[in-house]
């Protein structure tokens, strides 16, 4: 087997491994619903929050949240890596 073919095969194997890991992550990723109580990470601290909207279009994959006990001016769109289920 020549070097170019071996390199191509290795690249395909790496790509397949990546795709499998992405699929596994997507299958286990937590999704949230409108009105659900959650915790949101902001500057190193977890805050009690409520999901206001589930993103679509430009905000697909994000959630609009309201920090419980704080004014609406603090509402923001956040990515799932900053959210965890409420205790």
Q: In what order do the strands lie in the sheet with 45-54?
A: 76-78, 63-67, 45-54, 37-42, 83-85
For 35-86, how does the pLDDT look when each residue is reduced to its tens digit (9 = 90+)? 999 999 999 999 999 999 999 898 999 999 999 999 999 999 999 999 999 9
For 6-48, how does the pLDDT look when each residue is reduced to its tens digit (9 = 90+)? 888 887 887 777 665 555 555 446 789 999 999 999 999 999 9
* Close Cβ partners of 78 (under 8 Å, ≥ 6 residues apart): 40, 62, 63, 64, 65
- Listed residue (87, 67, 81) closest to 30, CA to CA: 81
* Close Cβ partners of 16 (under 8 Å, ≥ 6 residues apart): none
**Predicted TM-score of the model (pTM):** 0.66
pLDDT at res. 27? 46
């Amino acid at each position: 087997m020549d070097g170019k073919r071996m390199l191509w095969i290795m690249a395909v194997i790496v790509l397949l491994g990546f795709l499998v890991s992405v699929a596994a992550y997507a299958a286990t990723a937590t999704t949230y619903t409108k009105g659900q109580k959650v915790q949101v990470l902001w500057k190193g601290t977890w805050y009690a929050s409520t999901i206001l909207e589930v993103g679509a279009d430009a905000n697909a994959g994000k959630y609009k949240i309201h920090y419980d006990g704080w004014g609406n001016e603090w509402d923001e769109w956040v990515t799932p890596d900053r959210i965890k289920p409420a205790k």
